[in-house]
């Protein structure tokens, strides 16, 4: 496997070694420059984007609370995080809390610069980061170092060195406040419900319901154009989607992709269940892929369908039809070692 294939469309990137599955380049799907949009009087979305030859940024949701701004996920790249900081400057309100839905770098990479700009900020997240830091991220860093040493492509080397720099931020990426169970919380004076899902996208994922606006930040429990399954337990993920369906939200913001109505989320949930059923059957990979495209319908834009197919060509055999030992590692044991 060449070093050019190392850039992948996932939140936390597993750098494949020689002989591994060919990874997809983010140059295959590039979204427009992000433009913040107001989803409610006190809720702003800064959409993530895919940059040519670079890793993605997840969506960021900013909620105005009585004590300041709450940022749900902080992206990966400096330009995405700068949009967060610029909005805080324009509003004249400090960022007092960050909630990370999971530990993938495109959702926590902006934590260090936010901490620098607002030293009093407190970061809330699940208890999965420490394990990821000791296992997955340590291995990923070693593979990045190897890739840098073996590459003569300056742009690729710069991108991988940027990833190394994020990982080297260490504790600044992680939480000050650990969430271990679903429950109501008041953060910065704002009433929220934070959900805790075990063994879904990662070993522990959070979702956040802002009660006042009805906006639900789902993190990577919902992603378009396909579910990003690299560190996932598919059955646990489906259970988490069942839990989300019981939440009284008005608008769901995915970890990647445009906001969804309840009806659109129901479509996504049904399509996810059908994809898992297909993958567990004797139907071909191609049949499962076309089933996903069909079931999602207009939720996947025509321009994204080719990219969705290519991603599922990887995910179905490597994740959904992986050996039982692989699924057991993500579903019942330590998903990061």
Domain-embedded: residue 337: no
Range of the domain at 230: 3-331
CA 1/CA 325 separation, integer angstroms = 24
Report the pLDDT averaged over residues 181-210: 97
Residues 195, 72 contacting (CB under 8 angstroms): no
pLDDT value for 85 = 97
Q: What is the layout of strands, in order, in the sheet containing 251-256?
A: 183-187, 190-198, 204-210, 215-223, 251-256
Domain-embedded: residue 265: yes
Q: Which of 5, 28, 51 is nearest to 151 (CA)?
A: 5
pLDDT value for 27 = 33
pLDDT value for 239 = 97
Domain-embedded: residue 243: yes
pLDDT bracket for residue 29 (50, 70, 90): very low
- Please list, residue by residue across 65-98, b when 16 or more beta carbons sit within 10 angstroms of its beta carbon and e when fewer do: beebbbbbbbbbbeebbebbbebbeeeeebbbbb
Domain-embedded: residue 113: yes
CA 331/CA 84 separation, integer angstroms = 34
Domain-embedded: residue 215: yes
Tell me which DSSP letter residue 202 carries: S
Residue 125's contacts (CB-CB under 8 Å, 6 or more residues apart) are: 99, 100, 102, 103, 108, 174, 175, 177, 178, 179, 206
CA 277/CA 83 separation, integer angstroms = 40
Domain-embedded: residue 336: no
Cα–Cα separations (whole angstroms), residue 120 to 42, 96, 110: 21, 7, 15
Residues 93, 68 contacting (CB under 8 angstroms): yes
- Domains: count for the chain: 1
- Over 80: is that where the pLDDT of 336 sits? no
Domain-embedded: residue 280: yes
CATH of the domain at 291: 3.60.15.10
pLDDT value for 327 = 79
Hunting for tokens 């591994």 — which residue is that? 20
Task: Read off the pLDDT of residues 70-105 as tens digits, 9 standing for 90 and up.
Answer: 999 999 999 999 999 999 999 999 999 999 999 999
CA 308/CA 27 separation, integer angstroms = 13
């Amino acid at each position: 496997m060449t070093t050019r294939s190392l850039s992948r469309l996932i939140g936390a990137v597993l750098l494949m070694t020689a002989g591994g599955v060919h990874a997809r380049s983010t140059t295959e799907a590039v979204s427009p420059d992000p433009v913040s949009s107001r989803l409610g009087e006190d809720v702003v979305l800064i959409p993530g984007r895919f940059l040519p030859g670079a890793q993605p940024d997840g969506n960021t949701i900013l909620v105005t609370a009585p004590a300041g701004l709450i940022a749900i996920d902080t992206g990966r790249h400096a330009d995405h995080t700068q949009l967060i900081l610029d909005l805080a400057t324009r509003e004249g309100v400090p960022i007092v809390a960050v909630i990370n839905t999971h530990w993938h770098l495109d959702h926590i990479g902006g934590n260090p610069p936010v901490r620098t700009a607002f030293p009093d900020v407190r970061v809330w997240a699940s208890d999965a980061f420490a394990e990821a830091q000791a296992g997955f991220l340590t291995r990923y860093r070693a593979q990045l170092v190897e890739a840098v040493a073996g590459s003569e492509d300056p742009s690729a080397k710069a991108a991988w060195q940027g990833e190394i720099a994020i990982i080297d931020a260490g504790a600044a990426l992680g939480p000050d406040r650990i969430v271990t169970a679903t429950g109501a919380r008041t953060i910065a004076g704002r009433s929220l419900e934070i959900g805790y899902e075990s063994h879904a996208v990662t070993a522990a994922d959070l979702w956040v319901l802002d009660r006042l606006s009805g906006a639900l930040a789902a993190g990577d429990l919902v992603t378009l154009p396909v579910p990003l399954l690299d560190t996932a337990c598919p059955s646990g993920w489906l259970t988490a989607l069942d839990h989300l369906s019981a939440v009284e939200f008005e608008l769901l913001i995915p970890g990647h992709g445009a906001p969804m109505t309840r009806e659109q989320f129901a479509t996504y949930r049904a399509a996810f269940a059908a994809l898992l059923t297909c993958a567990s059957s004797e139907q071909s990979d191609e049949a499962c892929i076309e089933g996903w495209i069909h079931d999602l319908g207009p939720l996947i834009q025509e321009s994204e369908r080719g990219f969705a197919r290519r991603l599922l060509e990887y995910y179905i055999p490597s994740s959904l039809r992986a050996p039982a030992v692989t699924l057991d590692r993500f579903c019942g044991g330590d998903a990061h070692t």
